[in-house]
């Protein structure tokens, strides 16, 4: 059994057609969902690139990997741990990386192999891309913010200068070269991470007249602990963008998604052309979610639903349920034991996840009672636990503790923090006990 393991960067599930977005065009991701299982309640373990990727590629939670920011390397703490792609390499597979699998600074280290853990791969490839230096019309909507966070869009004449286009070309070449031997192909797309760079035709799909910004209640932030916007820094309060600028940002984000989706489509078509689909496990995910104006927040690094929840689709040969939706709680840390089991490989002892394979045959099964996400911001430590009906968040600073509790039965957008409500004290106590110290 082969594996095509596809990771998109900064992609929220709320901006995909198969997850219900009325405008975004993602036909190839949608098609993949129809051929497999779409997970509706999948959660990352850390709402930031490096910690999340280190977690799901090692099968260990962030506190164990020691990667709690975008700087450290998990090998500093775990020099001998066998990663997911390394497991396949050790079992005779071609273990191939093209693009961002472990952490990669976007746009500054695109095209380099920094942090990509060479020991995990038989081929360690870094597709090239011009990023914010791409030719074409563009605008930085937040010039007061540095590259990598700034809401900067570029309408480029063609795709040839973009890392995702190069990544798809390289992936197709690997499929052709290794079609007769087992492979684990890790394909990392950098879009829709900022800067939003895509050929003009993708921007044309999203006229500003059709784009709607997110509407928050006027008093939405009144019951959110004051520490929360501080942990977000420049990505709170709409990043200083007015409504017209928010619409431009959304158009750039949507265009980037559809461009990335087309690159995935080219790879999937090659998989079919080479008659590899029937013996290839396909996993598609994002490293974390992304805010698009909810609570006035943009981007990642929050512990609320839009940032913690991720798109996750698995299509596996022989699975009994196809085109169905699984609403059980699952975590990205579950992917390592899942992919290993699907391919008949024995993973290392002590992984923190639980295989999702039973859900591919019966998506209605219960899987976990809780899903955990964490976040560190300076001296502030945040922990979130998602249960079937609630999200609980606890923030700790050296001086104080703050809490949030949201009832998803009544409040799926998390507008009302009921942590202080007498009617919810039993649930508050229960969720406190479920949250790690």
Task: Show which residues are catalytic.
Answer: 49, 103
Tokens of 14: 């709320």
Instruction: Classify strands 298-299 and 291-292 as parallel, antiparallel or unpaired.
Output: antiparallel
- What's the sign of the alpha-carbon dihedral 417, 421, 427, 432? positive
Three-state secondary structure call for residue 90: helix
Chain centroid to Cα 357, Å, comes to: 20
- Cα–Cα distances in Å, from 18 out to 10, 191, 312? 17, 18, 11
> Which residues does 152 contact at the CB level (< 8 Å), separation at least 6?
132, 138, 139, 140, 141, 142, 194, 195, 196
Closest CA to 15 of 258, 217, 303: 258
Residues 1, 315: Cα–Cα separation, whole Å? 12
Query: How would DSSP label each residue in 239-257?
Result: GG--HHHHHHHHHHHHHHH
Q: How many residues appear in the chain?
A: 437
347 near 337, Cβ under 8 Å?
A: yes
Longest dimension (CA), the chain: 63
Task: Please check whether residue 251 is in contact with residue 315, taking contact to mean a CB–CB distance below 8 angstroms.
Answer: no
How many H helices and E strands in the chain?
12, 18
Rounded (to 5) percent helix, strand, coil in the chain: 35, 20, 45
């Amino acid at each position: 059994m082969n594996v095509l393991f596809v990771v998109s960067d900064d992609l929220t599930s709320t901006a995909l057609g198969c997850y219900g977005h009325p405008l975004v065009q993602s036909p190839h991701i949608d098609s993949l969902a129809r051929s497999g299982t779409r997970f509706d309640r999948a959660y990352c373990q850390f709402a930031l690139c490096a910690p999340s990727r280190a977690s799901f590629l090692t099968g260990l939670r962030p506190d164990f990997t020691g990667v709690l920011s975008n700087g450290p390397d998990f090998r500093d703490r775990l020099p001998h741990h066998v990663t997911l792609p390394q497991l396949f390499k050790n079992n005779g597979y071609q273990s191939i990386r093209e693009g961002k699998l472990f952490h990669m600074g976007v746009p500054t280290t695109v095209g380099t192999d920094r942090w990509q853990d060479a020991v995990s791969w038989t081929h360690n490839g870094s597709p090239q891309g011009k990023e914010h230096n791409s030719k074409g019309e563009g605008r930085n909507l937040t010039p007061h913010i540095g590259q990598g966070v700034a809401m900067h869009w570029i309408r480029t004449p063609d795709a040839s200068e973009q890392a995702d286009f190069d990544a798809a070309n390289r992936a197709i070449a690997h499929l052709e070269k290794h079609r007769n031997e087992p492979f684990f192909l890790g394909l990392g797309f950098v879009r829709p991470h900022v800067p939003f760079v895509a050929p003009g035709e993708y921007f044309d799909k999203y006229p500003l007249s059709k784009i709607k910004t997110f509407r928050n209640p006027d008093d939405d932030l009144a019951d959110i602990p004051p520490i929360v916007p501080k942990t977000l820094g420049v990505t709170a309060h709409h990043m200083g963008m007015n409504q017209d600028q928010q619409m431009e940002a959304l158009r750039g984000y949507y265009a980037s998604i559809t461009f990335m989706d087309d690159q995935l489509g080219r790879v999937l078509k090659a998989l079919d052309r080479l008659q590899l689909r029937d013996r290839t496990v396909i996993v598609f995910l994002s490293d974390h979610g992304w805010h698009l104006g909810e609570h006035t927040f943009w981007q990642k690094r929050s512990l609320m639903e839009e940032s913690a929840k991720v798109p996750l689709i698995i299509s596996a040969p022989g699975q009994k349920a196809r085109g169905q939706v699984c609403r059980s709680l699952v975590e990205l840390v579950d992917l390592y034991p899942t992919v290993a089991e699907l391919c008949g490989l024995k993973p290392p002892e002590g992984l923190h996840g639980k295989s999702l394979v039973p859900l591919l045959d019966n998506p209605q099964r219960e899987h976990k009672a809780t899903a955990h996400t964490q976040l560190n911001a300076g001296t502030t430590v945040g922990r979130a636990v998602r249960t079937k009906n609630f999200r609980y968040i606890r923030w700790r600073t050296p001086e104080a503790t703050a809490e949030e509790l949201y009832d998803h039965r009544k409040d799926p957008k998390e507008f009302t923090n009921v942590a202080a409500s007498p009617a919810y004290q039993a649930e508050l106590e229960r969720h406190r006990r479920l949250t790690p110290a």
